[in-house]
Every structure is written in structure tokens, then in C-alpha cells.
Amino acid sequence: MDGSNRDDLLRMPLEQRFTYHPRQKEFFVNFEGHVVRSQQDVARIRQAVEAILAPLRHKVHAIVNYENFTIFPDIVDAYSAMVHDLSDRFYAAATRYTTNGFLRAKLGDALNRRAVAPHIFESADEARAHLGTLKDTIAN
């Protein structure tokens, strides 16, 4: 078995990366260590999110963990278009976090080009605090 196959086996399955907390109406996406290599990867993410959120019939507050996340450069535009669509349809508010400054800049720029407020923070605590602020703003 080569190294990339072993790495794939050790990664968390995509379906286990999404958690919905109904009482808080929060949707947690754990992309820690996840790799997006292709259009098929983007389509699989879209399908997984739709399967969870479409039946709810209300928007949720999302928080996305991008720690050690990798996205191939030629997929960033397709990925940000997918995020834009999901955000419009399913998210009342969303925050994201990663300690990787380069990824924050790259994803932030791509999301801005799609008119998605990136809200990408350096830590989970900062992202959660900002999500609380966004919830308060929406409630008022």
C-alpha cells in the first residue's frame, strides 16, 4: 500500500465530518485534515451538506474547522462557488477557522469574490465568539 492510500484510510470519512445540533440550530463542519482534490470531492461535500440541511426547512448557524485542510489550487473556484450556493440556501450565518494564514487569505479572497463574507478566524474560540455576535445581530 502506498503512502497516499494509507493516508486516505486514516482520514475521517466525509459523512462523519458534519454535525447538526438542533437545539442551537448549529451546523459544525470538521474539515480538519481533509483534502479537496477534484470536482467530485466538491460534489460529494455539496451532497452531504444538502442531505443534512435540506430537510430542516430553516437556516442554520455554521462553523467550519479548516485546520490542516488542503484544497488543490485548480479547485478553489469550484469550491467557493459551492460554498456560496450552500450559504445562500442553508446558512443564517457562518464562521470559519484555521491557524494557517495562507489558507485564511486564499479562502478569504475566493469567498469574497463570490460575495460570501469569509469570517475566517485563527482559532475556534474566535470563530465561535463571532458566530455568537452574528446570532445576536440576526435576532435583533
Domains defined along the chain, listed by start: 3-121 (3.30.750)
Of 132, 1, 100, 17, the residue nearest 64 (C-alpha): 17
Cell of 140: 435583533
pLDDT interval class at 10 (50, 70, 90)? low
pLDDT digits (tens, 9 = 90+) for 25-80: 999 999 999 999 999 999 999 999 999 999 999 999 999 999 999 999 999 999 99
- Residue 7, pLDDT score: 52
Contact 91, 61 (CB under 8 A): yes
At 136, the pLDDT band (50, 70, 90 cuts) reads confident
**What percent of the chain is predicted at pLDDT more than 70?**
92
Residue 42 one-letter amino acid: V
> Among candidates 13, 49, 19, 48, which has minimal Cα distance to 34?
13
Q: What is the pLDDT of residues 112-129, one digit of tens each?
A: 888 888 889 999 999 999
pLDDT grade for 2, boundaries at 50, 70 and 90: very low
Task: Report the pLDDT value the prediction gives residue 134, as an integer from 0 to 100.
Answer: 87
Helix (H, G, I), strand (E, B) or coil at 30: strand
Closest CA to 93 of 18, 43, 15, 24: 24
Which 3 state secondary structure label does DSSP give 120?
strand
Q: How many CB atoms lie within 10 A of CB 11?
A: 14
Closest CA to 38 of 72, 82, 3: 72
CA distances to 2, 45, 85, 109 from 125, in Å = 37, 25, 26, 22
Whole-number percent of the chain with pLDDT over 90: 71
